[in-house]
Amino acid sequence: MQILAVFGLVALSCVPSLSQQGVEISAAGIAGINSTAAGAEVLIYAVELQDNAADGRTVRIGVAPLAGSGIQLTISDLTAETAVTAADFTGLNLYLSGDAVIDGGDTFLRTETPVVIGGVTLVDFAGVANANRTIPDVGTTFFLISADLAPGAVGGHAFRLGVAGLHIEMRDSGGGAPTVYPIGSAIAANDANQILISAAAGGGSSSGGGGGGGSTKDPMPVPFRSIGLLGVLVCGYALWAILRRG
């Protein structure tokens, strides 16, 4: 299944209280107008988290095993409605990652269904193993959410992503009473940042799923990750042409 990473990260600053050790380092949503084929998977959200104190307390995302806690996001139609519906989606896939790119090094955690259009969809961490919810004391970890478009998704339908402030639920435990608290910066839905569904692409694809093993997803295709190489080639050609003329 084709992966299209369509956003960059926006650095955010957080100053937690002493009882709230989990902090958001960066977060991102959809950027620009992106055409994605029916039946493909597209990355729509990434958040980078850190435990800001190595003091023996354990910081985890979600309040598992209790249901109803995790990351809340809203998928909505455009201002000029395109009639996008839940039937355009197979579900939302959740990954644990070392960066903001879906690739073979990520861990698939679960799929959230159904997708709510125009309201909050909770990507629930209930049932996700503690080891995959724990935020490290050293370094950071990413949680990625992708939209799996249904093979029968209607071309011309489009959607935006928005999240409210404090849309991530965290839990600190150990060395005292557990602390449950929300974090997360808001991302406003905007028609300028959208996924536009196009006709289904031909050829085979790999699918999300599996019980927490390595992802079978393809990395970003060339158009999205080769811009730097393309620039080098263009500059190199220009330099060669100048030297040749001289």
For the stretch 11-32, pLDDT in tens is 333 334 445 789 999 999 999 9
Residues in the chain: 246
pLDDT of residue 76 exceeding 80, the answer is yes
For the stretch 208-243, pLDDT in tens is 333 333 333 433 332 222 223 333 333 344 444 444
DSSP string, 110-143: EEE-SPPBSSEEEEE-TTS-HHHHEEPSSS-EEE
Q: Which pLDDT score is estimated for 138?
A: 82
Domain of residue 156: give its range. Answer: 3-245
The number of domains in the chain is 1
Q: Is 222 exposed, middle or buried (0-12, 13-18, 19+ CB in 10 A)?
A: exposed
pTM over 0.85: no
Q: Which pLDDT score is estimated for 52?
A: 87
Q: Which pLDDT score is estimated for 20?
A: 77
Distance CA 25, CA 23 (A): 6
Q: Which pLDDT score is estimated for 213?
A: 36
Q: Is 180 exposed, middle or buried (0-12, 13-18, 19+ CB in 10 A)?
A: middle
